[in-house]
Amino acid sequence: MSSKRTFARVAVSVCLSAAIGFASFAWRQAPEASAATKADKIISLGSKYLGVKYRFGAPSGSTSAFDCSSFTQYIYGKYGIKLPRVSSTQATKGYKVAKSNLKRGDLVFFTTARTGKKIGHVGVYVGNNRMLHTYGAPGVMYSSINSGYWKSHYVTARRVL
């Protein structure tokens, strides 16, 4: 009878260890999955504003016009991510990400003619070397980060999710 009890204890121990191990694995995976889901939601919300006009200095919370940083502040804020009002300050949040390691939802930063060598523009990386942002006409739009103006003015990226 004692060998049956010993076997039962070993079996229970093995099962509990496996359950704890699997739960631990799932828990470690959850933040990455959660960040990806949040990124998709942020991008989806942002895309609902395609074509909304650009206005430098647009007020926080307004959806009738955006500038680049009021746009990112608004769409991230809807999902609990508080960002400062201006792009250069947004570039100090989260942690730095190499351009070769960008993920959906990362913030990408650029210089502009107005800011010279300082950060003056922010967009949301959406994958496939594209960003969702607003700058000039037509307002909120998708652009490539690896061609034209944006390629030569890229500065850095930050992960805030």
7 in any annotated domain: no
Domain membership of residue 16 (yes or no) is: no
| pTM (two decimals) | 0.80
The pLDDT value given to residue 35: 75
**pLDDT per residue as tens, the chain (161 positions):** 555 555 445 444 444 444 444 444 444 445 666 877 999 999 999 999 999 999 999 999 999 999 999 999 999 999 999 999 999 999 999 999 999 999 999 999 999 999 999 999 999 999 999 999 999 989 999 999 998 999 999 999 999 99
Which residue numbers are catalytic? 68, 121, 133
Q: Spell out a b/e string for 106-118, using b for 16 or more CB atoms within 10 Å of the CB, else e.
A: bbbbbbeeeeeee
In the prediction, which pLDDT does 139 show?
Answer: 97
Find the CATH number of the domain harbouring 69.
Answer: 3.90.1720.10
Question: According to the model, what pLDDT value does residue 2 have?
Answer: 57
pLDDT at 43: 98
Within a domain: residue 117? yes
Give the per-residue pLDDT at 5.
55
- The answer to whether position 28 is within a domain reads no
Asked whether residue 13 is domain-assigned, the answer is no
Instruction: Let me know if residue 51 belongs to a domain.
Output: yes
Give the per-residue pLDDT at 9.
53
Tell me the residue range of the domain where 64 lies: 35-159
Residue 5 inside a domain? The answer is: no
Q: Is residue 19 part of a domain?
A: no
- Class of residue 149 by CB neighbours under 10 A (exposed 0-12, middle 13-18, buried 19+): middle
Domain count, the chain: 1
